[in-house]
Amino acid sequence: MYFEDLSPYRYYADDNCWYEFADDCEFEKLLNIGWLDSNHSFQVGTIDDALFKKLRDLVCCIPKRINIHFARIRGQRPCKLCKAYAKIRCKIGGMRHLGCTELRIPSREQKVVFTSPDMILHYIEEHSYLPPVEFLDALRNFDTSQPFDAEELGKNIIERRVGP
């Protein structure tokens, strides 16, 4: 499934729908990041090593008080670019398969939650994908000393619809 970077998140909805947060939530929008495929070009470059490690640790559930995973599927999807079944080495807990969940990275300043496939780690590492600066800023500013639970936050998501 391809979605343009920074477009409104609508994974499970049709073209007239997208998802946002309820009015009393501190966040407003969900935006797509890293939904790549082989039919669409994407920005390439290198990201700061410390930033990559921060994302990798978050995917590895380090620290434990933070859960950025959402919508876990049974099984594993391959990389959309090279068809590999990708995995990463976590500094705690050994290898972890990618292609199983979505990630939610909050930006309190932007009032946005960025939503990406967990394969984004593989896209960055193996295919030199360079996510938009908005996402990298959110990742850099993500305060890992505070608890965060993407599943809990998901309860505040509502569907918006235009047209008939």
Angle, vertex CA 122, rays to CA 126 and CA 130, nearest 5: 75
Residue among 66, 64, 50, 43 nearest 120 (CA): 43
| 44 binds Zn ion per the rule CB under 5 A | no
Q: What is the C-alpha separation between 12 and 87, in angstroms, rounded? A: 25
Quote the least distance from Cβ 80 to Zn ion, whole Å.
8
Residues that bind Zn ion (rule: CB under 5 A) add up to a total of 4
Which residue among 25, 81, 100, 130 contacts Zn ion (CB under 5 A)?
A: 81
Omega of the bond prior to 63 within 30 degrees of 0, cis? yes
Residue 51 or 81: which CB sits closer to Zn ion? 81
Candidates 5-13, 44-52, 53-61, 77-85: pick the segment binding Zn ion (CB under 5 A): 77-85
Quote the least distance from Cβ 86 to Zn ion, whole Å.
6
Q: Which helix (H) or strand (E) holds 140?
A: helix 133-141
Quote the least distance from Cβ 124 to Zn ion, whole Å.
11
Q: What does the block give as tokens for 133? A: 């600066």
Residue 77 or 108: which CB sits closer to Zn ion? 77
Which residue among 1, 44, 73, 82 contacts Zn ion (CB under 5 A)?
A: 82
Candidates 84-92, 100-108, 136-144, 148-156: pick the segment binding Zn ion (CB under 5 A): 84-92
Contact criterion met (CB below 8 Å) for 151 and 8: no
